[in-house]
Amino acid sequence: MFYVMEVGSRTVHILGITAHPTAAWTTQLARNLLTDLRQRGTGLRYLLRDRDSKCTQAFDAVFTADGIKILKTAPQTPRMNAHAERAIRTDPVASGSIREAAEACACCERERGWIYTATFYTAREVNGRFCPWCIADGSAAERFEGEFADSVGLDDVGEDVLHEVTRRTPGFQAWQDPHWLVHCQTAAAFVGEVGYAELAARPDALAQLRADLRLGGGRDEAQLEQFLTHLGDSATALLFRCTVCTTHPAYVDAS
């Protein structure tokens, strides 16, 4: 998913989705964005982007030709991407929550090539599923009076964060009711479903899961380690990343 966020208004523009992004693709999306902004009568002064190799000189030239200054994040500084990550707290294509499909959106009734497949909570009848665009701009949640994530555990975050997570962010699948984790007083970014190998590469997440399981009781140390090393069988771990300090909180989801 390739998107741009207006920092002042926190408006998210989903420019395109593909499983195989290329430099030519991102450059065309840059042209599309400027065309859209001109039609709306708005403009950009600066574009802050990361250093992805698919954002080439041709990509930058689209903006600089329009008088827009390009700013790049410094190398290995994840906090500089925090504005965008706090608005889109998941990679829904990687997690499988958004998939390619020749299916019309239940909200805008357009066939956009991608469709949302995970949770949506509403008392209204919904005949179909939603496209990522109607999720990102909030129109799906507003029209069908629903939420994409349970608000359980989000009591300590601000109203704007609560609204973004529950009404404008794609949810994810889980055996039990999925819920969002909070760290540094804001909602963390969902990384995905992981097993022991992925956890071992993130010692902070593994240590936190060990501590949580010890508090739950019912297992001695040998049983606890056996349970962790067999994650992926009848249980899995759902991994998040704090958008402030980059710590990796996680919780166990069992069938």
Indicate if 100 and 38 belong to the same structural domain.
no
Q: Kindly state whether residue 192 falls inside one of the protein's structural domains.
A: yes
Which domain does 13 fall in, by range? Answer: 2-72
Q: Kindly state whether residue 99 falls inside one of the protein's structural domains.
A: yes
* Residue 92 · residue 70 · CB < 8 Å: no
Indicate if 107 and 48 belong to the same structural domain.
no
Indicate if 185 and 160 belong to the same structural domain.
no
Number of domains forming the structure of the chain: 3
Indicate if 165 and 117 belong to the same structural domain.
yes
What local confidence, expressed as pLDDT, does residue 173 receive? 87
What local confidence, expressed as pLDDT, does residue 111 receive? 94
What local confidence, expressed as pLDDT, does residue 107 receive? 96
DSSP the chain: -EEEEETTTTEEEEEE--SS--HHHHHHHHHHHHHHHHHHT---SEEEE---TTS-HHHHHHHHTTTPEEEEPPTT-GGGGHHHHHHS-B-HHHHTSEEE---BBTTT--B-SEEE-S--B-SS---SB--HHHHHTSHHHHHHT-BSSB-TT-TTS-HHHHHHHHHSS-----SSPPB--EETTEEPEEEEEE-HHHHHT-HHHHHHHHHHHHHH-S--HHHHHHHHHTTTSSEEEEEEE-TTT----EEEEE-
Q: Kindly state whether residue 85 falls inside one of the protein's structural domains.
A: no
| End residue of a domain, out of 158, 175, 192 | 175
Mean pLDDT value across the chain: 86
Q: Kindly state whether residue 251 falls inside one of the protein's structural domains.
A: yes
The tens-digit pLDDT sequence of the chain (255 residues) is 787 877 766 677 788 888 788 999 999 999 988 888 888 777 788 888 888 889 899 999 999 999 999 988 777 665 555 555 555 567 788 888 999 999 999 999 999 999 999 999 999 999 999 999 999 889 999 999 999 998 888 988 889 889 989 999 999 988 888 889 999 888 898 998 999 989 999 999 999 999 988 887 768 889 989 989 988 777 899 999 988 888 999 999 987
**pLDDT tens column, 155-173:** 888 898 899 899 999 999 8
Q: Kindly state whether residue 105 falls inside one of the protein's structural domains.
A: yes
Q: Phi, psi at residue 221, to the nearest 5°?
A: -60, -40
Indicate if 9 and 65 belong to the same structural domain.
yes
What local confidence, expressed as pLDDT, does residue 38 receive? 82
What local confidence, expressed as pLDDT, does residue 101 receive? 93
| End residue of a domain, out of 159, 175, 191 | 175
Indicate if 67 and 120 belong to the same structural domain.
no
Indicate if 108 and 159 belong to the same structural domain.
yes
Indicate if 200 and 159 belong to the same structural domain.
no
| End residue of a domain, out of 148, 175, 202 | 175
Q: Kindly state whether residue 81 falls inside one of the protein's structural domains.
A: no
Q: Kindly state whether residue 79 falls inside one of the protein's structural domains.
A: no
Indicate if 107 and 59 belong to the same structural domain.
no
**pLDDT tens column, 176-206:** 888 899 998 888 989 989 999 899 999 999 9
Q: Kindly state whether residue 77 falls inside one of the protein's structural domains.
A: no
Indicate if 106 and 59 belong to the same structural domain.
no
Indicate if 114 and 186 belong to the same structural domain.
no
Global confidence as pTM: 0.70
